[in-house]
Structure 1
Amino acid sequence: MDNRKRNLLEQETQRRYLLLLFQTGLKEIWTDQYRLKVLVLYLLTVLLFSIIRPWDLAYSGPDIFDAVSRIAFSLCFPFLVFGGLAVLILWAGTPSKAKSIQNNLQRIGLVNHAGETPLLVAVRTEESDDMHSRMTVLEFLACGVPKSVWEDKRADIETALNIHIADIRESDGKRRIQLYTVPATDELPKLLPWKDAYLRDAFPACKLVLGESLLGPVTLDLNLIPHVLLGGGTGSGKSVLLKLMLMQCLKQPNIQVTIADFKGGVDFGSPWRKHPNCKLILDRETLLCYLDDVTEKLEQRKDILGKVERRDIYDYNRHEPIPMDRIVFAVDEVAEILDKTGLTKEEKEQVARIENRLSTIARQGRAFGIHLFLSTQRPDANILSGQIKNNIGYRICGRADHVLSSIILDNTDASDKILHDAQGRFLTGDGTVFQAYWFDDTKKMF
């Protein structure tokens, strides 16, 4: 692209940017008391000058020069007034440090093919929850730089602007980019103790509170997200997060929890074993019988909901006098129940039947209140079939290598965005990094 074409594009962009700032300035003056006061002061000053007409006093002599000067100032005064008003409106619409931010983005090469840098058009603050006081949203005119490029340069942008980026979103179609940011000095804590008070918003909607991101609490609504695939390397905090989710299920009414643990149940002590709504399964044969029973209940619930004309279990429980229990089936290490390595022919047939039942639940369980919480730390793509994995829409990955991150999230982001010594730090499929709540399941939980 030659310089002439580049200059024409830059001029076009600048005209559009100035018009945008002018429109924003009008809105800001209308809504911001400080800017409105500045405008009123300006208009009062103009009114005062128009009454006093100081140019008449300055050029009051009888000669032709004074007469011409008075006429010139009289004619120019309206243009000066409207020019000053335009400058004032542009000032009101121009975000603070817009030029500095543009220069910093230029330095890291965030430009389009014409060499134009995205332009800052608005800065606003949003109140966040709990530990986060304020979130600053930087809104840019994208100038043709797609969201994927912003994502790729996220670390560079954070360094250049001295911020943490919690989220990157598109607005106004794809013409604008919004960065949800907090100062670089604000970071997620390394430990977030669990408090039962966090459950206050969970009833009766069956929500689970997982932890906190820079945007605020991270929650999971079982009505919208029926199944969860959870991964993480050894020591990543994966098992603690799974137990956190199951503990919250057991604290809510009308939820039955079953946990498959082929290590003899050593990871789930007496608080779990003694809970009336919690059941442990320790062998493959018992598990197959249980899953056969669950798939049978799934078919029964189809008939029940069809007869009373309810869309799903949430709709049914809101309108019917006797609520229907939700069923949560959890596995701390899915490889324990699905890995066929070294098994006999009969055992492999059992595993195939288990896999078939899980696939049925993954496909059809949401409407009927049957949920799967599957977790793994073994990076083997053959463990989870595509049919099961593709029907589990919510993915969470802790500290992991490229292989495990790819299995859980279908990308390597967990390996890149989570420090290798981090515990309890997770990444969801939509790119949200959060610190999970920690709790001690050896103490009284229920």
Structure 2
Amino acid sequence: MIKQWIEKQKIKSKMHKCFRHCKMYHEKKQGDKKIRIYPQITNIRPLEDRLEVVFILQTGLSTEAIDETIFKQVFGKNIEIKHDKIKKCVLNVYKNEIPKKVNYDFHLIKNHVAKMQLPFICGLDIHGELIIIDLATEAHLLLSAETGGGKSSLLRANITFLIELNGNYELYLTDLKRSEFGMFRNCSNVKGVYITTSDILPTLKKIEKEMKYRGDLLDQHEVNSIDELDIKLKRILVVIDEVALLRKEKEIMSIVEDISSIGRSLGVHLVLSMQRPDSKILESGNLKNNLRVRISGRQSNSMNAKVAGVEGAENIGMNQRGRMLIKLDDIQEFQGFYLDSAEAKKILKNYKVKGQVHVEPEQQLGVKQENILGVLDE
């Protein structure tokens, strides 16, 4: 009992050190002296895989004052802080580390996505558990990271995974730098790879028309989502690498914003990526609020991390290749899946559609369904 008490006092002392450096305290005058009143530590609990410390902020203190960098300096880098955004906070200090590399393996992942319609695979968290989201639910995603941050590898792994999975979806890939998506040409599920704005604009216009068709279909059947229809429409995923290069293309960006606003219920989804977060794109218009899922690798500074929507990404080390943060309701750290180009090309050989030729944009989308359903006229 004495030993446990001593250990708890050491932990409290470390917590007070963190509170002091984060300026998380009130000062109260007592005689000629000022004393500091720190947040109340209500529970210290050693668990099998971690140490859990629960603390409560006093009135007047904000969870925004919590600086994870300071807590990592005191408790080590394998920590996680969760809070209810008001006053209750939980610090977890883990015994295990997030792996430094997680190789892509389709067979290890596929059983975890059985109930998902359009999975986006992320990687492994500190618990050794897979982080996977379903874009059918979460709608749209922004992926950003500076050079060497793992963005390209994670995109490559996800497109390869969707091709191997071969679900009820179509992929439209835009690669204006002409450096990433060429390997996916003529693969099953991939309906187009576009490398210029003049290539992608006609297809986006067809997707816009398809959304109008699907919206009319929902109205006609008095339902809120394509999932409620008797017919099974394919989900459409538009992936744009280095979307910042489109900032001056007003017509294209207008359609992209429309997809972000109304695409979820219509089964049309976005994955946008950029190396350096662009405030002109992300801090105005509909994209700011509609890109619900934010994933970021290392950012060079706190301003870039803030624009990316994942504060703390600037604290990822330069040597932590593939280490990322994902923000949904809160922020989680994970090691992203790694898949190099050579290995991806070997995998994709099995999914090339023999004899496939270039298909005009108007022949690629579900707008052909109007001939069957009689809802829209060409």
The equivalent residue for 2:227 is 314
The letter for the 1-side match of 2:109 is Y
2:109 to 198, 221, 226: 198
Q: Which moved more, 1:228-237 or 1:207-216?
A: 207-216
The equivalent residue for 2:296 is 397
The letter for the 1-side match of 2:171 is V
The letter for the 2-side match of 1:121 is N
Q: Residues 222, 119 of structure 1: CA spacing in aligned structure 2 closer, same or farther, 3 A cutoff?
A: same
Aligned equivalents of 1:166, 1:262: Cα separation in 2: 37
More strand as a share of residues:
2
CA shift, 1:371, in A, is 0.6
The letter for the 2-side match of 1:439 is L
1:140-159 mapped onto 2 (5 Å cutoff): 140-144=55-59, 146-149=62-65, 151-152=66-67, 154-159=68-73
CA shift, 1:135, in A, is 4.2
The equivalent residue for 2:238 is 329
CA shift, 1:95, in A, is 7.9
Aligned equivalents of 2:16, 2:313: Cα separation in 1: 28
1:253-272 mapped onto 2 (5 Å cutoff): 253-264=167-178, 266-270=179-183, 272=184
Q: Does the Cα contact within 8 Å between 1:256 and 1:325 map onto a contact in 2?
A: yes
Higher RCO (C-alpha 8 Å, min separation 6): 2
- Secondary structure (helix, strand or coil) at the match of 2:167 reads coil
1:275 to 184, 187, 190: 187
Q: Within the alignment, does 1:176 sit opposite 2:92 as a pair?
A: no
1:45-444 mapped onto 2 (5 Å cutoff): 97-110=7-20, 112-113=25-26, 114=28, 115-117=36-38, 118-123=40-45, 125=47, 134-144=49-59, 146-149=62-65, 151-152=66-67, 154-162=68-76, 164-170=78-84, 174-183=86-95, 186-196=96-106, 197-206=108-117, 207-215=119-127, 216-250=129-163, 251-264=165-178, 266-270=179-183, 272-278=184-190, 279-316=192-229, 320=230, 322-336=231-245, 338-340=246-248, 351-383=249-281, 385-402=284-301, 403-409=303-309, 411=311, 413-415=312-314, 417-429=315-327, 430-440=330-340, 441-444=344-347
- Residue-pair matches, total: 323
CA shift, 1:166, in A, is 2.0
Output one character per residue of 1:94-129: Cα deviation in whole Å (capped at 9) or x when no partner.
988332222222344445314234324252647xxx
Aligned equivalents of 1:388, 1:176: Cα separation in 2: 31
Question: What TM-score comes out, normalization by structure 1 length?
Answer: 0.65
Aligned equivalents of 1:108, 1:379: Cα separation in 2: 31
CA shift, 1:238, in A, is 0.8
CA shift, 1:175, in A, is 5.0
Aligned equivalents of 1:109, 1:381: Cα separation in 2: 33
The letter for the 1-side match of 2:224 is R
The letter for the 1-side match of 2:333 is V
Q: Does the Cα contact within 8 Å between 2:172 and 2:239 map onto a contact in 1?
A: yes
Aligned equivalents of 2:76, 2:188: Cα separation in 1: 51
Question: What TM-score comes out, normalization by structure 2 length?
Answer: 0.76
Aligned equivalents of 2:10, 2:58: Cα separation in 1: 17
Provide the identity percentage: 25
Aligned equivalents of 1:123, 1:363: Cα separation in 2: 44
* Structure 2, gaps ≥5 residues long: 29-35, 352-378
CA shift, 1:203, in A, is 2.2
Q: RMSD in angstroms over aligned alpha carbons?
A: 2.8
CA shift, 1:383, in A, is 4.6
Q: Does the Cα contact within 8 Å between 1:396 and 1:426 map onto a contact in 2?
A: yes
CA shift, 1:357, in A, is 0.8
Aligned equivalents of 1:405, 1:108: Cα separation in 2: 23
Aligned equivalents of 2:19, 2:339: Cα separation in 1: 44
Aligned equivalents of 1:329, 1:234: Cα separation in 2: 23
Aligned equivalents of 2:131, 2:177: Cα separation in 1: 31
Q: Residues 414, 366 of structure 1: CA spacing in aligned structure 2 closer, same or farther, 3 A cutoff?
A: same
- Secondary structure (helix, strand or coil) at the match of 2:37 reads coil
Q: Does the Cα contact within 8 Å between 1:258 and 1:329 map onto a contact in 2?
A: yes
More helix as a share of residues:
1
CA shift, 1:410, in A, is 6.8
CA shift, 1:377, in A, is 1.4
Q: Residues 96, 367 of structure 1: CA spacing in aligned structure 2 closer, same or farther, 3 A cutoff?
A: farther
Output one character per residue of 1:285-319: Cα deviation in whole Å (capped at 9) or x when no partner.
23111011101111111122233343323344xxx
Aligned equivalents of 2:279, 2:175: Cα separation in 1: 21
Aligned equivalents of 1:352, 1:364: Cα separation in 2: 18
- Secondary structure (helix, strand or coil) at the match of 1:257 reads strand
* Structure 1, gaps ≥5 residues long: 1-90, 127-133, 341-350
Output one character per residue of 1:386-424: Cα deviation in whole Å (capped at 9) or x when no partner.
33233212111112222532321275x222x21123311
Q: Does the Cα contact within 8 Å between 1:116 and 1:143 map onto a contact in 2?
A: no
Aligned equivalents of 1:124, 1:313: Cα separation in 2: 47
- Secondary structure (helix, strand or coil) at the match of 1:442 reads helix
